[in-house]
Structure 1
Amino acid sequence: MTTKRLLVALATAWLSACGAGEDGRDGTSCTVQERADGTGHELVCADGTTVPLPEGPQGEPGTSCTATENGDGSRTIACADGTSIVIRDGTDGTDGEDGSDGEDGTSCTVTDNGDGTKTVSCEDGTSVVVADGIDGEDGTSCTLTDNGNGTADLVCTDGSRVTIPLVQCRGDFFAGDFSIGGPWQREGAADVDETTPGHDGRGAGYLRPAAVCAQDTLSQTVCIGGLHERGPLVLSLWQQTDCPGCTQETAVTIGAGTVPVALGAASDTWSEARLCVGEAGYGDAIAFALQSLSAPASCDGTGTTPGVYFDDVALEEALPLECPAVGEVRNGDFEQRLFGWQIEQSGRGLVLLELKPDGNSVLFQALDDCSEATATGLVSVPLPTTLPGAALQLRAAGMSEIEVRFNGASTGSTFTGTGSREVLTACIPDELAGNAVAVQIGLPARRSTNCTSSLPREWVVEEVRLVADPVGCP
């Protein structure tokens, strides 16, 4: 055995004979803290000893990075050193367990004590007595008086008085369904019935028979704004007479106009009437007044005069080609064939569109005096400030008489033809200025009996247009 091996064996035997040594003492707890003067850090131990720690070298500047949304819920962080990483939001964690139910509340009862108080008693032994509140003072009595000018005076018994507007000016009709009558000004026998069945729900404006005869109005003021802001607009409403088999022509007066513009005939079933709003209907505080077009013959007591109901009055945007521009006749050159023209033919009357390469025209023919051949269109008459001396001009040819009527009138301007093409000018009544009104041209029936005629009536109309004729139509 070598000397090295002998020494190892002896040491091993000695350790085995002596056994394991005792555990050493616990070490002292230390922490790293910043020095009070801010010049570095030191190791501070619980036994009061401190050891200054040297500061390491300053690290290199960090790399600048930017984060970009990828639009799919992820973001890319790209750094100036060319490295990048895509990160995503983590998934939602699972819902926690429901908490335990709270304890049951205490049951209570209320007992009337008969003296104006009540006792609230609960099972936990608590109770409280509550009393009714004290009556407030009586309010002041007030009355509302309509001044007839869109305002009303509110007068109270305490001597106070205030004048209030009945309706704020709006861009459309307020309560156009007549569910409330306050916004509508009523003249004479015109009224609002808030309970009668209307076209769509309860409530309707009502021209009683006496209002029809007197042409009393139901009116409201609307702030439409300028034509360039809102137009073109259509006044839309539904109307119905109050007696079976009855009809009545109705109308509306718009703005400062003095002549009612025809809406059409109301019958004993609800029907819609639509009227293009002319130049006079645009601006601030424009009054729209519904009424009868004229007093029927029955107003003299020889027959039944119908009343008329109105409902769902509104201003709507005009449909394409529904309304002519101010100063124009709708389809006055017949390039849209007979679109916009209402044709009336009776007896041996005929209205026929003639298609020609150089422009369409319309043939009117009546083979006896009892026959009718007419066409009714629409013209938007400007205000005098826009077009002074407004007139309707026809380019036409014929041998007999042709007539032009405005706004449903029973008479109009009559022209006798020379057989050659000529220009006819019909003056438009001044009171129609600013309105879109009906214009009827053609050959109305001359009589209803003795219908024989030696000469048939015939005209060809090539164009109808609006012109200024301040000399001929002052």
Structure 2
Amino acid sequence: MCDSDAEAPSCICAPGYSGIPCTWTGVLDDPGFQDQQSWTLSGGANVLERGTGAVDLGFAQLEETAACFAGAVSQTVQMPSYEAGEPLVAELTYRARGLYGVALGFNRAETQLPQTEDPSTTNDVWLTERICLGEAAYGGPVTVRLSSPEQHFSCFDEGEGIIEVDRLDIVLADPGECPAPGQVLNGTAEVAGGGWRFETTGVGIAELAEEVGREASAGVRLASEFGSAAVAWTRLSVPTSETLPSPALRFWWQGTTERLFQFRIGRQNDINKTTGNFPLDEVWGNDSEENFVYCLPPWTHGNVVELISRPVPLSPADGTSELSIDDVEIISEASCGSSSDILDPAFDAAFVAGTEIRFTGVTDRSDAQTASVTLLAEPSLSRTEDGGVLELSYWNEAAVIWLDTWVFVPESEGTDGPAFAFWSKVPEFNEKPIRSVLGRAAVNPADLQVGGDWTRNEVCLPPAWSGRWYRVQFRLGDFATVGTAPVDPPIRIYIDDLELTTSSACPSE
């Protein structure tokens, strides 16, 4: 990096670099956790300077209280810009048990890593993972944070979870390991292009192949039968919204008629586990070419995530389910909105002529045989009669709907605590109660008011999680079912105008 304003122009090394020529030496003080003073500890987190870890003495520790209630170990460092430096990865040696894993954050970008124990055994092993740094981790002061990704259900009973991190270092990425901001590793799925990774079981097939992609070009080919599995994933570096307004994901796919396929986003860790990644979409093939657009939620902005794809054979009668994928790219889609704290709060992404927008701010876990969740471009149905609206509908008593959205918890204002507000419209006659709950642990349930009119709801968010991402859910039918009879006409529930705010009804600390 050169300082052309100096009286005698000279070149200086970017942060993290030293020597002649400039060579990466790192930015973190005490990556092995042997000096507690180098780290900021909050919420009961600790650094055991003489504790025995997997690599060397010293490790960071979050016992159940810290892990359950937003404890963190953090350090603010000066990072080089992406242009001045080289691609970097975080190398993390950790173990986590009795929880949903561990979260590694760089400012607002957060990656979730899985628990390290096998629930069926007493195994408790150290794992070392490499995490590509996204754009949010480069340039200027960056806070590096270790914490629990969210509250485990045991936190509200007798929590016994613990997170221990033996070493956290930031090192140079290997060639081809990490995409540049705005790029996808081998998004065009060229056979010799690398980037994609595959995993199979049984008779599953996962590969880069000729003539299976768009217009008979090369593409990803996945094939599996009932009892086998085939998974493919590649990395994409989502820019910050300052660099690319309203980031969205677009890719081409084609699947066997009347067969189910699943796309997820996050981090792929194990073919049999989904910790660290989240449902993006479930689609049914029709042997036709499809090219959907997915609004990327703000928690992905500035982060490196993985697009994970797989066929989902439902029975032996399905035979072979085949899925082809091609042309994965990151684009700007204005209709996705500009909020950096919650995606498309007014659901206006529905208004895109000629393009099917698949809404990813809310994760849909509904059974397509009994229920659906749809982003509607029907102003007459929206609360203000001038925008989009989210419709939840069901036509069978056995229907189950789960919806998740991730929000960036605001800071308290005086005695007013953080809150998530939304409007709902639930008909007077509703077979199955719908309620809001907090987190994956589904605590603080609150039934949505029925009556057929628009009603404003406020859900208090935990103030300890201010400045962090937190999950809010809507659930219908997740408790005792009321039968399997058809519901005719279908019940239609509407959600609109999500908002992050503060409220005098919510705790501020």
TM-score bracket relative to the smaller structure: 0.5 to 0.7
1:94-142 Cα distance to aligned partner (Å, 9 max, x none): xxxxxxxxxxxxxxxxxxxxxxxxxxxxxxxxxxxxxxxxxxxxxxxxx
1:194 aligns with 2:49: yes
* Partner Cα distance (1:338, 1:248) in 2: 34
Q: Per-residue deviation at 1:412? A: 1.8
* Partner Cα distance (2:151, 2:317) in 1: 34
| Corresponding residue to 1:312 among 159, 167, 176 | 167
1:388 aligns with 245
Number of residue pairs the alignment of both structures matches:
294
8 Å Cα contact 1:249/1:263 also seen in 2:
yes
SS in 1 for 2:140: coil
* Partner Cα distance (2:333, 2:172) in 1: 32
1:219 aligns with 2:86: no
C-alpha change, 1:227 and 1:454, in structure 2 (3 Å) is closer
C-alpha change, 1:403 and 1:338, in structure 2 (3 Å) is farther
8 Å Cα contact 2:56/2:166 also seen in 1:
no
C-alpha change, 1:171 and 1:316, in structure 2 (3 Å) is closer
Q: Per-residue deviation at 1:349? A: 4.2
C-alpha change, 1:387 and 1:279, in structure 2 (3 Å) is same
Q: Per-residue deviation at 1:326? A: 0.6
* Partner Cα distance (2:85, 2:166) in 1: 23
* Partner Cα distance (2:229, 2:27) in 1: 40
8 Å Cα contact 1:374/1:444 also seen in 2:
no
SS in 2 for 1:280: helix
C-alpha change, 1:344 and 1:295, in structure 2 (3 Å) is farther
* Partner Cα distance (1:177, 1:346) in 2: 37
1:461 aligns with 325
The 5-angstrom pairing of residues 7-26 of structure 1 reads none
8 Å Cα contact 1:351/1:363 also seen in 2:
yes
* Partner Cα distance (2:91, 2:296) in 1: 25
8 Å Cα contact 1:263/1:274 also seen in 2:
no
Q: Per-residue deviation at 1:212? A: 2.7
Q: Per-residue deviation at 1:230? A: 2.0
C-alpha change, 1:445 and 1:347, in structure 2 (3 Å) is farther
| Corresponding residue to 1:266 among 116, 141, 146 | 116
SS in 1 for 2:262: strand
2:208 aligns with 353
Instruction: Output the TM-score relative to the length of structure 1.
Output: 0.56
Q: Per-residue deviation at 1:205? A: 0.5
Amino acid at match of 1:214: F
SS in 1 for 2:334: coil
SS in 2 for 1:239: strand
2:39 aligns with 184
C-alpha change, 1:238 and 1:336, in structure 2 (3 Å) is farther
8 Å Cα contact 2:32/2:167 also seen in 1:
yes
8 Å Cα contact 1:226/1:282 also seen in 2:
yes
8 Å Cα contact 1:380/1:437 also seen in 2:
yes
The 5-angstrom pairing of residues 25-424 of structure 1 reads 172-241=27-96, 249-257=101-109, 260-267=110-117, 268-301=124-157, 305-335=160-190, 337=192, 339-346=194-201, 349-356=204-211, 359-368=217-226, 371-398=228-255, 399=257, 400-407=259-266, 408-424=276-292
Q: Per-residue deviation at 1:335? A: 2.2
Q: Per-residue deviation at 1:248? A: 5.2
SS in 1 for 2:66: helix
8 Å Cα contact 1:415/1:424 also seen in 2:
no
SS in 1 for 2:84: helix
CA RMSD after TM alignment:
2.9
* Partner Cα distance (1:315, 1:432) in 2: 20
8 Å Cα contact 1:248/1:308 also seen in 2:
no
1:427 aligns with 295
Q: Per-residue deviation at 1:220? A: 0.6
Amino acid at match of 1:270: W
Q: Per-residue deviation at 1:307? A: 1.3
Query: Relative CO higher for 1 or 2, CA cutoff 8 Å, sep ≥ 6?
Result: 2
Q: Per-residue deviation at 1:454? A: 4.2
C-alpha change, 1:172 and 1:299, in structure 2 (3 Å) is same
Unaligned runs of 5+ in 1: 1-169
Q: Per-residue deviation at 1:441? A: 1.9
Q: Per-residue deviation at 1:409? A: 3.2
Amino acid at match of 2:327: E
C-alpha change, 1:472 and 1:416, in structure 2 (3 Å) is farther
* Partner Cα distance (2:192, 2:104) in 1: 30
SS in 1 for 2:239: coil
Structure exhibiting the larger radius of gyration computed from Cα positions: 1
* Partner Cα distance (2:191, 2:67) in 1: 38
Instruction: Output the TM-score relative to the length of structure 2.
Output: 0.52
* Partner Cα distance (1:445, 1:240) in 2: 34
* Partner Cα distance (2:141, 2:94) in 1: 25
SS in 2 for 1:471: helix
Q: Per-residue deviation at 1:418? A: 3.2
SS in 1 for 2:46: strand
1:24-58 Cα distance to aligned partner (Å, 9 max, x none): xxxxxxxxxxxxxxxxxxxxxxxxxxxxxxxxxxx
SS in 2 for 1:228: coil
| Corresponding residue to 1:442 among 310, 320, 323 | 310
Amino acid at match of 1:324: P
C-alpha change, 1:422 and 1:230, in structure 2 (3 Å) is same
